[in-house]
């Protein structure tokens, strides 16, 4: 099922990040034809290349430490946070691939096995980069991810694994929801990419639009509000159904400053799985 | 002088290949805004990622073997030859960087130290991919690079190092000329990229145009003829001097099926040196 790619899992992880940002239009996001003022295509290139040694440390190093290293490597470019969510999506899948079971069950096994120290590594990654996040729930201030490594004592005190941290965010964060639910959207997206034909970046753009038309993008909820995310989904449905072009939708979202980053993260995960299952570039 | 990048030399080699294909317009070539029918942007992404493990084998493995591995890794995509010349340009520079002397002298030392077995590795790389080459000179049929690994006996019989092989092509191949002359255009290009400002892919596109306006592109000579290459240089001068836009030149060359591949190879080398010398993406 896996392993048809002559590339290693680490190479396919990097390639998935590169193909994700290449697919166009991915309305509202940086892609082959779109830059933002301070976040440009080449920042994503450098981000993907910077994360590569961490992907290569799988499976020998624990997931939390690998994640922190990946984010620190990603960060060596001037765009800021390029692929935090995409790496958080792809990384457990790289572990699952190494364990010989790149499937929803295999991915669920990986995340279920995470430890408190993995949670500490995850929090430390926030020291390297500014990530858009919500305020923590009432009474959880000591676990605010913006505390970064300073939250280590609280994590150990509460004995929270990384999986348990994700459970607490699953209702407000699309990547955390994938972790908790066995990566259903990622694997559905991979199946769609495999069933599609034509250049792989074009397939990625189509699966991105389909995801955007189906579920609320939680990054849009965080950076704007729920109503904006619902409106984006409606417009994405219209684009998917041919009532406007994806390029027109892209123009709309750019004009509003809306970028559906979570949907891009899941697209990167779908590309990784598709590559490992033999989709040829 | 080197080492200001937090990335390893192998990572910067990959990033240089990615930035090269991103810079636009690079008239006649695949870039962020241009595909050819059967050679698309994503093939270059996969080519760069595929070459990565070979770059990482520097300096432990000999150059010829590393080159063969890089080309075999590059080849795992459907576009064919994406970066043969770019890797041949960048690879000696990666060795020079590891030796602590990424300079014309340091690069000259690397290529002067190549062996007959490096030449065999270089020839073997041609087994992995179709590369546009000229017929060999009269009496040199046994050294036709298209023989690939089958030329090993002839190389050993004639006791030809890889440097000596390059010397024999230096008058008809712009990459070989760099090898023989201490990489002057690469280091000049790197200096221009460092002196320039703005997004790095834009700087790469400008240095590409400057090179195209200065020297004949030997890939154009090989795939078309000398007159075509001269005309391309004239038109590149006009574009550089503002008599037409680079985008108009791009349209002209695409319409004629002319792609100045050697100039792109040298641009990749210039980007590698610029990255190692601290140009930030």
ipTM passes above 0.90: yes
Residue A200 lies in a domain: yes
d(CA A54, CA B142): 45
CATH classification of the domain holding B98: 1.10.4200.10
Task: State residue B4's pLDDT score.
Answer: 58
Residue B192 lies in a domain: yes
Flag if A280 and B22 touch (Cβ within 8 Å): no
Of the CA atoms within 13 Å of residue A39, those in its CB half-sphere come to: 17
Helices (H) and strands (E) in chain A, counts: 15, 0
d(CA B196, CA B40): 28
Successive 10-residue mean pLDDT values, chain B, 281 residues: 72 98 94 93 98 97 98 96 97 98 98 98 94 82 90 95 96 96 98 98 97 96 95 96 93 93 97 97 97
d(CA A273, CA A183): 11
Residue B4 lies in a domain: no
Q: Is some CB atom of chain B closer than 8 A to the CB atom of A130? A: no
Inter-CA distances, A62 with A89, A92, A127, Å: 16, 11, 18
Cα of A36 to nearest chain B Cα, Å: 12
The answer to whether residues A66 and A54 touch, using CB atoms and an 8 Å cutoff, is: yes
Q: Is some CB atom of chain B closer than 8 A to the CB atom of A4? A: no
Residue B174 lies in a domain: yes
Residue A1 lies in a domain: no
Q: Is some CB atom of chain B closer than 8 A to the CB atom of A89? A: no
Task: State residue A78's pLDDT score.
Answer: 95
Burial group, residue A182, by CB count within 10 angstroms (0-12, 13-18, 19+): middle
Identity of the residue in B7, B45, B199 whose CB atom sits nearest the CB atom of A42: B199
Residue A4 lies in a domain: no
Total domains, chain A: 1
User: Considering only CA atoms, which of A210, A209, A207 is closest in space to residue A193?
Assistant: A207
Residue B43 lies in a domain: yes
- Return phi, psi of residue A55, to 5°: -60, -35
d(CA B146, CA B75): 16
Range of the domain at B19: 9-276
Flag if A77 and B22 touch (Cβ within 8 Å): no
Flag if B6 and A41 touch (Cβ within 8 Å): no
Chain A residues 135-154 within an 8 A CB cutoff of chain B = none
Q: Is A88 helix (H, G, I), strand (E, B) or coil?
A: helix
Flag if B201 and A50 touch (Cβ within 8 Å): no
| Buried b or exposed e, range B182-206, using 16+ CB within 10 angstroms | bbebbbbbbebbeebeebbbbbbbb
Which stretches of chain A score pLDDT less than 50? 1-3
Q: Is some CB atom of chain B closer than 8 A to the CB atom of A36? A: no
Task: State residue B139's pLDDT score.
Answer: 78
Determine the length of chain B: 281
Residue A234 lies in a domain: yes
Flag if B19 and A42 touch (Cβ within 8 Å): yes
> Taking every pair of C-alpha atoms in chain B, what is the biggest distance, in angstroms?
53
Closest Cα in chain B to A5: B76
Inter-CA distances, B31 with A170, A227, A235, B35, B45, Å: 39, 38, 31, 7, 11
């Amino acid at each position: 099922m896996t392993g048809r790619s002559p590339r290693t899992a680490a190479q396919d992880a990097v390639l998935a990040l590169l193909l994700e940002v290449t697919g166009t239009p991915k309305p509202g996001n940086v892609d082959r034809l779109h830059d933002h003022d301070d976040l440009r295509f080449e920042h994503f290139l450098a981000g993907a290349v910077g994360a590569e040694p961490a992907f290569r440390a799988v499976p020998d190093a624990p997931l939390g430490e690998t994640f922190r290293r990946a984010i620190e490597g990603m960060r060596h470019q001037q765009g800021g946070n390029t692929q935090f969510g995409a790496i958080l999506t792809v990384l457990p899948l790289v572990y699952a691939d190494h364990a010989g079971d790149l499937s929803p069950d295999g991915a669920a096994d990986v995340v279920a096995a995470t430890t408190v120290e993995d949670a500490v590594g995850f929090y430390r990654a926030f020291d390297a980069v500014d990530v858009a996040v919500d305020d923590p729930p009432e009474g959880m201030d000591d676990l605010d991810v913006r505390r970064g490594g300073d939250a280590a004592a609280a994590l150990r005190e509460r004995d929270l694994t990384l999986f348990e941290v994700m459970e607490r965010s699953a209702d407000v964060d699309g990547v955390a929801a994938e972790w908790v639910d066995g990566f259903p959207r990622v694997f559905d997206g991979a199946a769609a990419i495999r069933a599609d034909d034509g250049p792989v970046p074009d397939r990625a753009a189509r699966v991105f639009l389909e995801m955007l038309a189906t579920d609320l993008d939680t990054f849009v909820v965080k950076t704007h509000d729920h109503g904006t995310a619902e409106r984006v989904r409606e417009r994405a449905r219209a684009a998917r159904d041919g009532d406007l072009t994806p390029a027109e939708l892209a123009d709309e979202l750019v004009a509003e400053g809306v970028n559906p980053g979570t949907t891009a993260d899941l697209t990167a995960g779908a590309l990784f799985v598709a590559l490992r299952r033999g989709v040829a570039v």
